[in-house]
């Protein structure tokens, strides 16, 4: 595996999305995995009309985790 990822939709702020990820076993495992050396974090406001827009805040959050040896 070259890395990992966490994705969430509908949280309105970083604290909420992190709380959601930390309360999910798979997402928490990615965050705490000592083999991941780098993380890329992103957030985007989805446009109205997007099928996920009305799910919570309409924001999409992502974390990408990368092993050091792949850089």
pTM of the predicted structure, to 2 decimals: 0.82
Q: How many C-beta neighbours within 10 Å does residue 18 have? A: 17
Residue 54 has a pLDDT of 67
Coil, strand or helix: which one is 4?
strand
Read out DSSP for 6-24?
Answer: EEEES--SHHHHHHHHHTS
Note the pLDDT of residue 61: 95
Task: State how far the Cα of 10 lies from the Cα of 17, in Å rounded to an integer.
Answer: 8
Low-confidence ranges of the chain (pLDDT < 70): 1, 54-56, 69-71
């Amino acid at each position: 595996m070259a890395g990992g990822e966490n994705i969430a939709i509908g949280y309105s702020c970083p604290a909420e999305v992190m709380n959601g990820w930390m309360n999910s076993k798979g997402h928490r495992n990615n965050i705490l995995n000592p083999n991941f050396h780098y993380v890329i974090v992103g957030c985007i406001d989805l446009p109205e009309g997007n099928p996920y827009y009305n799910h919570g805040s309409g924001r999409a959050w992502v974390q990408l985790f990368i092993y050091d040896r792949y850089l």
